[in-house]
A and B are shown apart, each in its own frame.
Chain A
């Protein structure tokens, strides 16, 4: 057989290989298909859409009212909403119209992308109004939660202030969250800065290594606390309400009010300026914010989000009425989270 005949057969084989390759490429590209267009795109965090969370009621009701196509995307936790938004922006991808579930600290990272299209109702709690572009829908106070039987069995006195965390007996008895990867973790830094002012860095240096563990998120930290790893965990005062709502854990967990005061977290939403390409989209976004702050959605907030509703005229459940109220709120709009994290890193990671 001539060499040419070989070449012919090789060409046939090569063409078959190319067909196989193209098929594989097709499968790959098919998996990269784009999503159908939606009238309103919302980016939020996973747990807001979980079973029993506010997302289920909110999005269903909004779709019913607006008769439009809503595309809700989840991005892990609140911090990942901003991470994803930043990445999509740098990649010049289609941006969501609404970022839902960012707190006041994360808002600082995206405030230049936010647009004011909605006037906050007068019945919104005044401490949640931080910027006209930020639409608050719930808030909560940070606090340590104590497992009372565990504290008793270890003969530990309940701490009354942040300084008490330096007591020798409380070494490795509390769990915090990493401020670089968790909103409550950052809330701890904010509270410390509010409590100690300029000497906060000195306090953080003294506190270094005194916690048992510092997981990356609130979920992991609280899971370890419930597993009995430590009798104290940094969380929200409303965690007490959550436990009190169950007959099994009623009265066991207590939110601790410190004499210096408590940090504040405000959860909100923003409308994304560059995503608003038409009046229609702005109207839909405004309609969504209207619903978010409506009494029917706000009354669902306490027992679904386990946070205080932003509206002051909402009747709170009994578990919330029994919660202790902070003597002082350690929140300053001037709190610079990046600087605080940088200083904390230098104090802790050395």
Chain B
């Protein structure tokens, strides 16, 4: 395609800007983590110390078991929904909810449910690796079910019928038809779940019960939080985590790219009993997060007390500020990445790969890197919303890039020139030509970013200050002050926000 000079200029500027964004937001921080060792001997000693290897072992074990468990249950769920012929947007939406629940809320819910006085207290698994794995499975199973069910539903019915008639038995159909078609989705979702479990922080911290259950992520936290920070120890754990998560994530992304999932709408009447059965199976994965709000202390809380409401709104403003910055940066970065494709195809592929990298990088590592790199100029202790926004925007890029449709490639920027040659102003041209083409995309990016930003706690913990307390941090502060009912109130608010944003995201995603 012949590009106009205008489009080439846009591509050039975009390439420079987005390269700068990745350099400052990702490359420099990650490399700075690797430069915290005084000598090669210290590097090797720290990397292979007993505690580092123990953290690596626990991380690998809990991530692998959580992933396998989530895959097992998720596949069962997907098969069940497929057998019940459920093709409803409602179910897609319901299955997407647990994924958006803030981890601090999930950890809090599970610790209450599994506590001595909780409904599942009799299991006696709280503060153990089993509790961590159970919570990870509960959060990730719906994601696996959603991905696989969508992949299964997008297979043509005539193909399936042919396979069934040609293959001698069900196992053969599974092996010869389903497995090749679902392999990409399966590997892709498995890598995603593995990364999420390996980089999980607050769930491990709270439900694991501390030492001896220590993962790479919680290990980083303990090495930098107290007293004289052990930078090299934290960096060693960070390097192991990068090896564990990023390399497989990138390889898988290059080799197995899942097909774009079709928008699923109800294609035929679903039978009521099947619908109810499916609802019954899915609902525990969502309703479980509402359990804490039926406690006596919560119901007795004075929600409308001026003190609580003032703190809540101030915290909400902080959360909104962080979300606004991260949404803007993520939106801008996404558009720039796509605009670079107007001319630089190879560079664009590299940018897409870079945008995928954070999927395997924990927030703590990125925070640590940003701290190492820019701590001399920007005080990490002063509630830097810009730093929080930068980190959050980098972290949410993989989700955005993976879920965006390819319509952005077809955008006609040349039309701006044509409009302007006819006398239209630049702003008018953007409003009438660019905005309609990118509106849905931008809104989608904003909802994804807002969802991540509102629930993210590691970056806000790293760069927060007394006068900057976003909602997840406020919740954890209430918990540490034994104000459990107030913490539950913040948790419920975060839950409502998460469900609202996921609904919005789902609705926009369907229409985009």
Does A178 contact B222, Cβ atoms closer than 8 Å?
A: yes
Does B50 contact A46, Cβ atoms closer than 8 Å?
A: no
Let me know if B45 is at the binding interface, CB within 8 A: no
Complex Cα gap A208–B378 (Å) = 41
Q: Which residue of A lies closest to B426 (CB)?
A: A13
Which of B256-264, B348-356, B399-407, B475-483 lies on the face that meets chain A?
Answer: B475-483
Q: Which residues of B contact A84 (CB under 8 A)?
A: 381
Does A222 contact B482, Cβ atoms closer than 8 Å?
A: yes
Q: Which residue of B lies closest to A106 (CB)?
A: B227
Min Cβ gap A241→B in Å is 17
Does A6 contact B426, Cβ atoms closer than 8 Å?
A: no
Does A79 contact B227, Cβ atoms closer than 8 Å?
A: yes
Complex Cα gap A5–B164 (Å) = 65
Does A16 contact B426, Cβ atoms closer than 8 Å?
A: yes
Complex Cα gap A35–B481 (Å) = 29
Does A220 contact B479, Cβ atoms closer than 8 Å?
A: yes
Taken residue by residue from 66 to 106, chain A's Cβ proximity to chain B (1 for < 8 Å, 0 otherwise) reads as: 00000001111101101110110001110000000000001
Does B227 contact A349, Cβ atoms closer than 8 Å?
A: no
Contact of B6 among A6, A16, A87 (CB under 8 A): A6
Docked complex: A211-263 residues within 8 A CB-CB of B = 212-217, 219-220, 222-223, 226-229
Complex Cα gap A12–B6 (Å) = 12
Count of chain A residues near B, Cβ 8 A: 57
Complex Cα gap A320–B426 (Å) = 75
Contact of B54 among A106, A223, A349 (CB under 8 A): A349
Let me know if B55 is at the binding interface, CB within 8 A: yes
Complex Cα gap A79–B226 (Å) = 4
Q: Which residues of B contact A10 (CB under 8 A)?
A: 5-6, 9
Query: When A79-B225, A213-B209, A229-B115 are in contact, do A17 and B13 touch as well, CB less than 8 Å?
Result: yes
Let me know if B224 is at the binding interface, CB within 8 A: yes
Let me know if B267 is at the binding interface, CB within 8 A: no
Q: Which residues of A contact B381 (CB under 8 A)?
A: 73, 75, 84
Which of B191-199, B210-218, B312-320 lies on the face that meets chain A?
Answer: B210-218
Min Cβ gap A223→B in Å is 5
Let me know if B386 is at the binding interface, CB within 8 A: yes
Q: Which residues of B contact A28 (CB under 8 A)?
A: 386
Min Cβ gap B335→A in Å is 12
Query: When A13-B426, A213-B127, A219-B480 are in contact, do A180 and B222 touch as well, CB less than 8 Å?
Result: yes
Let me know if A32 is at the binding interface, CB within 8 A: yes
Min Cβ gap B409→A in Å is 22
Query: When A7-B5, A227-B484 are in contact, do A82 and B222 touch as well, CB less than 8 Å?
Result: no
Let me know if A348 is at the binding interface, CB within 8 A: yes
Contact of B50 among A1, A3, A74, A349 (CB under 8 A): A349
Does B375 contact A87, Cβ atoms closer than 8 Å?
A: yes
Q: Which residue of A lies closest to B207 (CB)?
A: A213
Does A86 contact B229, Cβ atoms closer than 8 Å?
A: yes
Q: Which residue of A lies closest to B480 (CB)?
A: A219
Q: Which residues of B contact A202 (CB under 8 A)?
A: none
Does A345 contact B51, Cβ atoms closer than 8 Å?
A: yes
Complex Cα gap A60–B114 (Å) = 45
Query: When A31-B384, A109-B228, A223-B480 are in contact, do A178 and B210 touch as well, CB less than 8 Å?
Result: yes
Docked complex: B364-391 residues within 8 A CB-CB of A = 371, 375-381, 384-386
Min Cβ gap B180→A in Å is 43
Taken residue by residue from 1 to 37, chain B's Cβ proximity to chain A (1 for < 8 Å, 0 otherwise) reads as: 0001110010001000000000000000000000000
Contact of A181 among B127, B225, B384 (CB under 8 A): B225
Let me know if A283 is at the binding interface, CB within 8 A: no
Q: Which residues of A contact B214 (CB under 8 A)?
A: 349
Does A74 contact B466, Cβ atoms closer than 8 Å?
A: yes
Let me know if A317 is at the binding interface, CB within 8 A: no
Complex Cα gap A227–B55 (Å) = 29
Let me know if B440 is at the binding interface, CB within 8 A: no
Does B482 contact A223, Cβ atoms closer than 8 Å?
A: yes
Complex Cα gap A219–B227 (Å) = 17
Q: Which residues of A contact B117 (CB under 8 A)?
A: 227-228
Let me know if A321 is at the binding interface, CB within 8 A: no
Min Cβ gap B458→A in Å is 14
Q: Which residue of A lies closest to B54 (CB)?
A: A349
Q: Which residues of A contact B210 (CB under 8 A)?
A: 178, 213-216
Let me know if A191 is at the binding interface, CB within 8 A: no
Complex Cα gap A79–B222 (Å) = 11
Min Cβ gap B340→A in Å is 15
Min Cβ gap B325→A in Å is 9
Does B229 contact A83, Cβ atoms closer than 8 Å?
A: yes
Min Cβ gap A18→B in Å is 10
Does B212 contact A91, Cβ atoms closer than 8 Å?
A: no
Let me know if A209 is at the binding interface, CB within 8 A: yes
Let me know if A131 is at the binding interface, CB within 8 A: no
Query: When A28-B386, A106-B227, A180-B223 are in contact, do A91 and B51 touch as well, CB less than 8 Å?
Result: no
Does B375 contact A91, Cβ atoms closer than 8 Å?
A: yes
Complex Cα gap A75–B227 (Å) = 11
Contact of B386 among A32, A83, A91 (CB under 8 A): A32
Does B13 contact A346, Cβ atoms closer than 8 Å?
A: no
Complex Cα gap A87–B484 (Å) = 33
Let me know if B420 is at the binding interface, CB within 8 A: yes
Let me know if B490 is at the binding interface, CB within 8 A: no
Taken residue by residue from 312 to 339, chain A's Cβ proximity to chain B (1 for < 8 Å, 0 otherwise) reads as: 0000000000000000000000000000
Does B224 contact A83, Cβ atoms closer than 8 Å?
A: yes
Min Cβ gap A320→B in Å is 22
Does B378 contact A32, Cβ atoms closer than 8 Å?
A: yes
Complex Cα gap A7–B127 (Å) = 65
Complex Cα gap A316–B381 (Å) = 37
Complex Cα gap A346–B228 (Å) = 19
Let me know if A182 is at the binding interface, CB within 8 A: yes
Q: Which residues of A contact B228 (CB under 8 A)?
A: 82-83, 86, 109
Does B479 contact A346, Cβ atoms closer than 8 Å?
A: no
Query: When A178-B222, A215-B210, A349-B50 are in contact, do A109 and B227 touch as well, CB less than 8 Å?
Result: yes
Does A350 contact B50, Cβ atoms closer than 8 Å?
A: yes
Let me know if B205 is at the binding interface, CB within 8 A: yes
Let me know if B300 is at the binding interface, CB within 8 A: no
Contact of A9 among B223, B379, B384, B420 (CB under 8 A): B420
Let me know if B346 is at the binding interface, CB within 8 A: no
Q: Which residues of A contact B188 (CB under 8 A)?
A: none
Min Cβ gap A337→B in Å is 8
Query: When A1-B421, A83-B226 are in contact, do A208 and B386 touch as well, CB less than 8 Å?
Result: no
Let me know if A19 is at the binding interface, CB within 8 A: no
Query: When A16-B426, A226-B482 are in contact, do A80 and B226 touch as well, CB less than 8 Å?
Result: yes
Taken residue by residue from 221 to 239, chain B's Cβ proximity to chain A (1 for < 8 Å, 0 otherwise) reads as: 1111111110000000000
Ordered by A's residue number, 9 sampled pairs between the chains whose C-beta atoms are within 8 Å are A10-B6, A17-B13, A28-B386, A208-B212, A213-B210, A215-B209, A227-B115, A346-B51, A349-B51
Given known contacts A82-B227, A180-B222, A229-B115, what 11 new A-B pairs fall within 8 Å (CB)? A31-B385, A76-B225, A77-B226, A80-B225, A91-B375, A91-B376, A180-B226, A219-B480, A222-B482, A227-B484, A349-B212
Report A's interface with B, CB cutoff 8 A. Answer: 1, 3, 6-7, 9-10, 12-14, 16-17, 28, 31-32, 46, 73-77, 79-80, 82-84, 86-87, 91-93, 106, 109, 178, 180-182, 208-209, 212-217, 219-220, 222-223, 226-229, 345-346, 348-350
